[in-house]
Amino acid sequence: MAEGIPITRRPASPEQVERIRAAVHGAGQLGDSRLARPEDAPGLYALFSEPKVNAPIYSLPRPLTVENVRAFIEDHIAQRERGEGLLFVRDSGDGQIMGYSDIQVWPEWAAGEIAGGLHPSLHSKGTGTQGAAQTFTWMFEALYLDLLCETASLQNVITQRMLDGMDFRRMGQVTSTRPDGTTRESLVWEMTREEWAARG
């Protein structure tokens, strides 16, 4: 994920840090998505290979190969063990992965970020925005986070509109580094638990 985020850093108590880590470690389901497994690498590689999926997301494995995707999954399994990250996939049941959610958690700040994508056949149906809202609520409630921090590229107008429309606060700009070392400028938004609850 991007360097320099979250922008807002309020140290969580040791008790909250442990509660968050335990919640991440114990998470197994996100809506209709399940935890990614190493054997999902071919299906997830096919999803990541879709230009409409990989173009706006800087955190995907690069170069994009099945082996690198398998390593990406295994890294997230290790993150879950530490209570710092989760990778969920939306499995169609026939080996095709129709979507994914990549959750990064900073327990020390009680903060988190999510990146994700849907298969192009599911685009422009409102499912992305609806799913994002449900996931944001889940992150606050199930993972005990106090802050969400989201990023989007300068060209990713769809995500920018979604976050602005959900009343996330723009916090400026950071440089995101891709796995292959190349960089991308990212806009940053934040939302607190209280602000999310007050949206009504």
| E strand segments, the chain | 29-30, 33-35, 85-91, 97-106, 111-118, 147-153, 169-177, 183-192
Give residues with Cβ within 8 angstroms of 173, minimum separation 6: 185, 186, 187, 188
pLDDT at residue 70 tops 60: yes
Structural contact between residues 139 and 192, judged by C-beta atoms closer than 8 angstroms:
no
CATH of the domain at 108: 3.40.630.30
The domain in which residue 105 lies consists of 14-149
The total number of structural domains in the chain stands at 1
Q: Is residue 200 part of a domain?
A: no
pLDDT at 200: 66
Q: What is the pTM of this model?
A: 0.93
In-domain check, residue 174: no
The chain-wide mean pLDDT, for the chain, equals 91
For residue 164, is it within any domain? no
In this structure, is residue 50 part of a structural domain? Answer: yes
What pLDDT digit, counting tens, does each position of 46-58 carry? 999 998 888 778 7
Q: Is residue 35 part of a domain?
A: yes
Q: Is residue 110 part of a domain?
A: yes
**Residue 168 covered by a domain:** no
Residue-level pLDDT at 126: 61
